[in-house]
Amino acid sequence: MMTRKVQTKLFQLFTIIVASAVMVLSPVSITTADASSRIKDIVSFEGVRENQLIGYGLVVGLNGTGDTLQNAPFTRQSLEAMLERMGINTRGTSMRTDNVAAVMVTAALPPFARPGMKLDVIVSAMGDAGDLRGGTLLVTPLLGADGEVYAVSQGSLAVAGFTVGGDGGSITQGVPTTARIANGGIVERQVPFELNELQSIKLSLTNPDFTTSRRIAIAINEHMGSMVANAVDSATVRVMSPVGSQMAMVDLITNIEQISVIPDQPARVVIDDRSGIIVMGSNVRVNTVAIAQGNLTIRISENPQVSQPGAFADGGQTVVVPDSNIEIDSGEDERLTVMSPGVTLQELVDALNTLGVGPRDMISILQAIKVAGAMQADIEVM
């Protein structure tokens, strides 16, 4: 027979499940307005994107924290080539400067960037330079994926990290070998793309889903009053310019990106076993399943005692007598819980929390429920 304590816990669990089910079925739920998102927040427009730029350059002016030329031959070769362009021949000489560092320079070219526009650039050391603080980046061309120069960068480096130390040790805060130059790049060439000359544009969903794609097409057609949009696949919606309309493509995009749509999401559970994080979707459901959770716990505590002879004893010595206390918890008080069909994962987690199940044990339970075929969702382990 069950003890009164176990009966009380099971009754509390049953009450929580029933109360949660009533809340799910009741009219008080998340409204459509709360669950909707603007189209501009869940899609990206074809052709309207950044382009990555990269370049190789030299940083000078370092306070003895640059590359060791013997260990970084590319730095020495770059320094010699730069000096030759300045009319100085250093070939065949032994250079020992440690105020120069070879770096990679990266930047993101925003869409519709015009010549003269300023860019932020990131500078990262390539060799064995220890610190880029105080350095200045020399003129560095930034190339696109096609090998063409789209920007040029130069300027003083701003380093957030630092390294300090002495003979006994050192402390490093942040990353002193990576720096940033605000507005350190200037656009020299624009990417050829004329948006207003397009007769149609494709919308790419951030999270591909057939239902969401179809909902976007339906919402656009209702807003425009004509069949101008169709769902191509789960990740793409094509929008045509209205027939006979003189509306520019920029105006069309502005009109449709403010439309609200309720995006659908798959039933999925994301688990990070290292940190014990569990992220679940609202559509996850659990079929009828029985859950038991319990572990064998052994606790050993030491309380040593001191034993010594009497004051006038003839011989003997003081000794430490060990005193060990061993407790074994076999999990006899753990309960077997039966979940009703159609219970949401949120209700399951609430019930397991009521039973005192921790995050890591909960992860094991969720994975076991999935293996048993009782969870209608995908589990993704990070």
Is the pLDDT reported for residue 354 higher than 60? yes
Same domain, 227 and 273: no
Average pLDDT of the residues of the chain: 78
pLDDT at 356: 67
Domain assignment present for 167: no
- Indicate whether 326 and 300 sit together in one domain: yes
Indicate whether 250 and 326 sit together in one domain: no
pLDDT-above-70 percentage for the chain: 70
pLDDT value, residue 237: 94
Residue 110 has pLDDT above 90, yes or no: yes
User: Is the predicted pLDDT of residue 335 greater than 80, yes or no?
Assistant: no
Q: Are residues 21 and 102 in the same domain?
A: no
Rounded to an integer, the average pLDDT of 339-361 is 66
- pLDDT single digits (tens) 61-88: 998 888 888 888 888 888 888 888 888 8
What is the spatial distance between Cα 105 and Cα 188, in angstroms, rounded to a whole number?
16
Claim to verify: residue 132 and residue 64 sit in the same structural domain = yes
pLDDT at 346 over 70: no
Instruction: Give me the pLDDT at residue 265, please.
Output: 80
Domain that residue 18 falls in: 4-30+268-310+317-381
Please indicate, yes or no, if residue 165 is contained in any of the structural domains.
Answer: no
Which two structure tokens, joined as six digits, stand for 333? 């008080």
What is the distance between the alpha carbons of residues 285 and 136, in angstroms, rounded to a whole number? 58
132 in any annotated domain = yes
Higher-confidence residue: 198 or 212? 212
This prediction has a pTM of: 0.64
60 & 143 share domain: yes
Within a domain: 333: yes
Are residue 229 and residue 349 in the same domain, yes or no? Answer: no
Residues in contact with 224: Cβ distance below 8 Å, sequence separation at least 6, in sequence order: 242, 255, 256
- Residues 375 and 285 both lie in one domain: yes
Q: Which range, 49-53, 94-98, 305-309, is most confident?
A: 49-53
| Residue of 267, 308, 287, 279 lying closest to 369 (CA atoms) | 287
Residue 28 pLDDT > 50: no
Do 97 and 224 fall into the same domain? no
pLDDT level of residue 27 (50, 70, 90 thresholds): very low
Residue 10, in any domain of the structure = yes
- Residue 346 is assigned to a structural domain of this protein: yes
CB 137 within 8 A of CB 151: no
> What is the distance of C-alpha 38 from the center of its chain?
22
Count of domains for the chain = 3
In a domain, 168, yes or no: no
Task: Please check whether residues 200 and 301 belong to one and the same domain.
Answer: no
Is 235 contained in some domain?
yes
Helical ranges in 26-157 per DSSP H: 32-35, 39-42, 73-85
347 and 237 assigned to the same domain: no
Residue 31 pLDDT > 90, yes or no?
no
